[in-house]
Structure 1
């Protein structure tokens, strides 16, 4: 779904004593990319919560670690929407190292849309759903 990957640098705070990215930090990089993806689509999360009373929560995440990311690597994360429903979506994310394009990790993320005031399932904003559908159509061409 993302035409251009979202890029992030690995810093000391992301690594263990050996300079390898700590496994839990992969979650943070994947989360950051999804947040940046929403902003790039024109739907930052704070206005969506305040204006539309909507937010997204992760229901499930499956990560497959392929190769280690290391200190000072530049990471590129691509995002595709695998399934789109009225109140949920499934993301397929791929993390590569910039330069050698080595696949480092993949994540499949099930996210639910909630009414922010009740934390109950709710339809996502129609304009966001339409924007995702339009992007999916462009990706198929």
Structure 2
């Protein structure tokens, strides 16, 4: 399943050349993952309070393939590629129409509130399969 959210490019997102500053693509895909979490029924506040775990990005591999500009209407697509006991690998893309501008593979893990890696809770693994 591919999850999609719209993103509009604002002036604050651009650099001096009038194109989206490269780091803002990371913000866009973070929004995509956050909305995906909500839409699959996970509540990160409950996960933190009840289970004592939070999500953390462990690894990110990104390709910048095109440039977005002020006022562009973009779409962030997110899908789970794999889930194991300790990690989820998510594929994320930022598109303008059919044009692929940014692509990333993001490895997400669970961490205890003390900062130690921990297994994904079973209910989470079941929800995302």
Q: TM-score, normalised by structure 1?
A: 0.85
In 2, distance between residues paired with 1:94 and 1:41?
A: 19
Structure 1 residues without counterparts, runs of 5 or longer? 134-141
Instruction: State the shift of 1:122 in Å.
Output: 1.4
Instruction: State the shift of 1:81 in Å.
Output: 1.2
1:113 match: 110
In 2, distance between residues paired with 1:112 and 1:106?
A: 20
1:126 match: 122
Aligned residues: 129
- Superposition RMSD in Å: 1.2
Moved over 6 A (4+): none
Structure 2 residues without counterparts, runs of 5 or longer? none
**Structure with the larger strand share:** 2
Q: TM-score, normalised by structure 2?
A: 0.93
